[in-house]
A and B are shown apart, each in its own frame.
Chain A
Amino acid sequence: METIIQLLDLTVRSAVPLLLACLAGLYSERAGIVDIGLEGKMLGGAFAAGAVAAVTGSAWLGLLAAIAVATMFSLIHGFASITSRGNQIVSGVAINFIAAGLCALLGQAWFSQGGRTPQLPKDARFTEITLPFADAVQNVPLLGPIYSGLISGHNLLAYVAFIMVPVTWWVLFRTRFGLRLRAVGENPAAVDTAGISVAWARYRAVICCGALCGVAGAYLAIGVSAGFVKDMTAGRGFIALAALIFAKWKPVAAMWACLLFGFLGAIEIRYQGVALPIIGQVPVQLMQALPYILTVILLAGFIGKAIPPKAAGRPYVKER
């Protein structure tokens, strides 16, 4: 029981940044802006969070900085793909490199610790929150350990991530903003005909995307770790992208996909080199590659079909 709880707890921890980035991508791609720059934006956010929290000593200012920086990157991506009508993939690749280069460069120039930001004290981070009664119910069978060991004891941003799942669903499927956002992703011409600005709707979507990427970055740099480390996102942006496809661009499914990939990550950390029953010892690398392999299989249409928003990747050109 204890091991299962620990494994699930680890799953949640690995899933949170994926989930935030995945929901970020969801806003953007649902509005027709393909975003392979999630990785870079997360990294930029993580660096901003680490740097600002180190200088000001405030986790909240760090979070704000993370959101601001990631949103700025988002706006560059938006400008390139909405206003300049450039290739969204190329722009996303560019964002990843600019973020990776800039973070390492500025990190070294400002803090001279090989691209790291200084180690943060406890009050400059989002530390783990013990939910009320977590200790009291610990001994209740089944539910007790689940509540105190799994649900309680994460930092604020982790709870934000999971709250964002229903919020995103509500925003996308129950508000006018969400309807328009989805509409510009499926049929921008129709939205344009209705007299609504396609560009503005898409810009708002990429801003949402940037903000969530910033939170994801902050979770990494000032949530689970005590500072920014060079290349700390380590491909999570791409796993989030994979999760987004896996979830077929739906918020609740995105949560399950991220938990699945988080679970694979947790197994990889927990059972490194341990022989499993029946299959024997699985190479760590196979576990690392599994999210990607699963996504390729899914994309190939062997486990249901992943159909992206219709206008995804296409700049909208008004008819003249």
Chain B
Amino acid sequence: MNNALPRWVDIGLMPLVNVAVAFLISGLVVLFVGESPVEAAQLLVKGAFGSGYNIGFTLFYATTFIFTGLAVAVAFHAGLFNIGGEGQAYIGGLGVGLVVLSLDFALPWYLLFPLAVIGAALFGALWAFIPAYLQATRGSHIVITTIMFNFIASALMVYLLGGPLQKSANLGPRSRDFEVTIPKMDWLMSPFGVDVGSSPLNITFLLALVMAFVVWVLVWRTRLGFEMRTLGLSPRAANYAGMSEVRLVVIAMMISGGLAGMMALNPVMGDQTRLQLDFVEGAGFVGIAVALMGRSHPAGIVPAAILFGALYQGGAELAFDMPNITRDMIILIQGLVILFAGAMEYMFRPAFARLFARQPKAAIAKPEVG
């Protein structure tokens, strides 16, 4: 990392350039497959923002990605790489499901929803607790343990939905339908002249925005956030200042897991209204791309999440119009964004440093994440 870069270049221009490169390569792949990249891009944008219904879907996906992006970002700040968002979200869904399935006959949505939020966050946080605790006290690498926990979560959910939570064997592995649904967002969007129609956009979107703000307050305006960032920047400094690494690692990971778990509210309660398999659909991993692109700051994560929401929604429409370009294109773009905005973020830095250099030679090693 080079301090010579002006702030706006570092947090504004660099991510844009990295993402632009990712899209450029994706465009080449489209060309290679024999379709027109320009046309594909037009279809994608139209599919994502073409109508209120499409916008509704875009924001529905974005909701999910805000949660998982925030989850990854909080862990990043504490110097941890939480690659287990996928599993935490899956188990978070179990929390949602258990709350709703056991209380939905008795409570209206406005009482049930807060309980479900707590259930989601709690289960997600607990799923992150074991890897966090093992990392903090036994030194087992959190990346590996969280990967393992993703698989364990998946096996556990398949078992539960195919057994104890299953409604009937004929319907396949899923719970009974929820009796209570949460409000959609049409009431809020229609004053803006946007008719989200029957898209699944629901109030979880608002919760996601609230959580983005809460994360900002937590990380930059609280003592805990300061301690977490200190740990992330320099574990030795944190230790020297008397901060407990065990405590911080566990808390940071549980907040991260809780945020990832809350993601489950969106598909489970807001859309499918039952607990079924694979509702996470890789959102935990999209969170990595979103956090990297958003530079782990809520103000960057929300737009990055909307961009990925647009990609998911637009990509689905694109796959419909250009059968040669399947939805796997999105996975590829996601991978390229992670590569360029994450792993190769230093690649263009020297060039930028030459362009915008203010104080050359001020080189400070960036702390390691993970």
Contact = CB atoms under 8 A, between A and B. Distances in A.
Given A36-B147, A86-B345, A87-B368, A285 B33 contact: no
Interface string B347-370: 100000000000000000100111
What band does the interface of chain A fall in when counting residues whose beta carbon is under 8 Å from B?
35 or more
A204 interface: no
Contacts of B156: 285, 289
Interface majority SS on A: helix, strand, loop or mixed?
helix
A76 B139 CA distance: 29
Given A87-B369, A97-B332, A115-B328, A300 B346 contact: no
A134 interface: no
Contacts of A105: 29, 33, 325-326, 328-329, 332
A152 interface: no
A259 B272 CA distance: 41
Per DSSP, chain B at the interface is: helix
Interface in B318-352: 323-326, 328-336, 338-339, 342-347
Nearest to B153: A289
Nearest to A76: B339
Given A91-B344, A94-B343, A101-B328, 9 more contacts: A90-B339, A90-B342, A102-B328, A104-B326, A109-B324, A115-B326, A288-B155, A296-B134, A296-B148
A283 B158 CA distance: 10
A99 B328 CA distance: 10
A39 B329 CA distance: 18
Contacts of B163: 283
Contacts of A88: 343, 370
A245 B159 contact: no
B147 A87 contact: no
A232 interface: no
19 contacts: A86-B342, A86-B344, A86-B347, A88-B370, A90-B81, A91-B342, A91-B344, A97-B332, A97-B334, A105-B29, A106-B33, A108-B323, A286-B155, A289-B155, A293-B148, A295-B148, A296-B145, A299-B144, A300-B134
A97 B145 contact: no
Contacts of B368: 87, 313-314
Interface in A73-122: 76, 79-81, 84-91, 93-106, 108-109, 115
A242 interface: yes
Interface in B110-139: 130-131, 134, 138-139
The 3 closest A-B pairs by CB, nearest first: A101-B332, A97-B335, A299-B140
B151 interface: yes
A218 interface: no
Most B CB atoms within 10 A — which of A36, A86, A317? Answer: A86
A292 B148 contact: yes
B263 to A, nearest CB: 18
B193 interface: no
A308 B342 contact: no
Contacts of B29: 102, 105
Interface in B260-290: 285, 288
Interface of B: 29, 33-34, 81, 83, 130-131, 134, 138-141, 143-145, 147-149, 151-152, 155-156, 158-159, 162-163, 285, 288, 292, 323-326, 328-336, 338-339, 342-347, 365, 368-370
A238 B87 CA distance: 15
Nearest to A294: B148
A301 B140 contact: yes
A241 interface: yes
- Best-surrounded residue of B147, B288, B329, B365 (most CB of chain A within 10 A): B147
A235 interface: yes
Contacts of B323: 108
Contacts of A94: 335-336, 338-339, 342-343
B331 A104 contact: yes
Contacts of B131: 296
Interface string A5-41: 0000000000000000000000000000000100000
A314 B329 CA distance: 31
A93 B325 contact: no
Contacts of B347: 84, 86
A108 B151 contact: no
B149 to A, nearest CB: 7
B148 A242 contact: yes
Contacts of B81: 87, 89-90
Contact of B335 (A96, A235, A295): A96
